[in-house]
């Protein structure tokens, strides 16, 4: 059965209501009935779109996972980049995506970090491990095979890089979102990027100064800020 535009709008109402409730009450404390009450419809309307509350979560996080997979796959498919440059591009393009979609990511971040949403965080991490980590692993293994990265265990190193990348992007995005209200974030961003590049070069055995991650990230931040003016 073809879903009309009104139907798509209704589905988005369910998703937005669920996101608000998960953020305020926590995933475990939010029931399907709570979502129904927030939207003001019957159970039948909810189950037309979703089989369960878990499916709502899959839908909420689905666009995030899909976008990440597309961005990273595009970088890996770029034959003009060597593995070292691909790692830099993966970081920079993922940051750009977060900055260009601030409203969505702020709501997702706030929801995931809320008390009572540990299950959502674990789900996102597990899904990332299945779908996203293999792409990071591909870049790291290729770099090791070509002698650009001096690492004895490339696959295990890729897991550490993925964790470092995720933590850095979360912290960096939050600092960038708050730049207008907190100009002192500029110095915090500079410090974070300095230590991130240093840590990444050590982790990958790329040699000090061989990766221009800091420069690429700063350029991404500057371009995004210019577009928003």
Residues 133 and 189 occupy one common structural domain = yes
Could you tell me if 111 and 15 lie in one domain? no
Q: How far apart are the C-alpha atoms of 91 and 96, rounded to whole Å? A: 9
**pLDDT digits 0-9 by tens, 74-127:** 999 999 999 999 999 999 999 999 999 888 788 777 776 665 677 766 766 666
User: Does residue 109 contact residue 174 with C-beta atoms inside 8 Å?
Assistant: yes
pLDDT, position 77: 97
Question: How many CA atoms lie less than 13 Å away from 109 in the CB half-sphere?
Answer: 18
Which residues have a Cβ under 8 Å from the Cβ of 52 and sit 6 or more positions away?
32
Q: For residue range 204-219, what is the model confidence (pLDDT) as tens digits? A: 999 888 899 999 999 9
17 and 82 inside one domain: no
Q: In the chain, how many domains are there?
A: 2
Same domain, 14 and 105: no
**How buried is 89 (Cβ within 10 angstroms: 0-12 exposed, 13-18 middle, 19+ buried)?**
buried
Give the pLDDT confidence of 136-180 residue by residue, as tens digits: 999 999 999 999 999 999 999 999 999 999 899 989 999 999 998
Q: So what's the pLDDT on residue 8?
A: 80
Q: Return the structure tokens found at 179.
A: 């730049």
pLDDT confidence of residue 229: 65
**Residue range(s) defining the domain that contains residue 60:** 53-228
Full-model pTM: 0.80
Which CATH number is 21's domain given? 1.10.10.60
What average pLDDT does range 32-59 have in this prediction?
89
Same domain membership, residue 101 and residue 133:
yes
Q: Which CATH number does the domain housing residue 199 bear?
A: 1.10.357
């Amino acid at each position: 059965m073809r879903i009309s535009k009104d139907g798509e709008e209704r589905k988005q109402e369910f998703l937005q209501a669920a996101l608000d409730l998960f953020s305020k009450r926590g995933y475990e404390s939010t029931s399907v009935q709570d979502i129904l009450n927030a939207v003001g419809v019957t159970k039948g309307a909810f189950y037309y779109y979703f089989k369960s509350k878990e499916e709502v979560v899959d839908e909420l996080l689905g666009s995030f996972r899909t976008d990440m997979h597309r961005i990273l796959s595009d970088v890996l498919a770029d034959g003009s980049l060597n593995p070292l440059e691909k790692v830099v591009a993966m970081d920079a393009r993922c940051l750009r995506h977060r900055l260009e979609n601030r409203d969505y990511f702020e709501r997702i971040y706030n929801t995931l970090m809320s008390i009572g949403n540990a299950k959502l965080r674990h789900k996102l991490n597990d899904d990332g491990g299945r779908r996203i980590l293999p792409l990071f692993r591909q870049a790291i293994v290729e770099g090791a095979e070509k002698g650009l990265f001096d690492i004895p265990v490339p696959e295990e190193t890729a897991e550490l890089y993925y964790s470092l990348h995720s933590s850095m992007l979360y912290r960096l995005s939050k600092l960038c979102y708050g730049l207008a209200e907190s100009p002192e974030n500029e110095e915090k961003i500079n410090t974070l990027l300095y230590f991130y590049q240093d840590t990444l070069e050590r982790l990958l055995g790329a040699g000090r100064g061989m990766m221009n991650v800091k420069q690429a990230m700063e350029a991404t931040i500057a371009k995004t800020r210019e577009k928003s003016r």
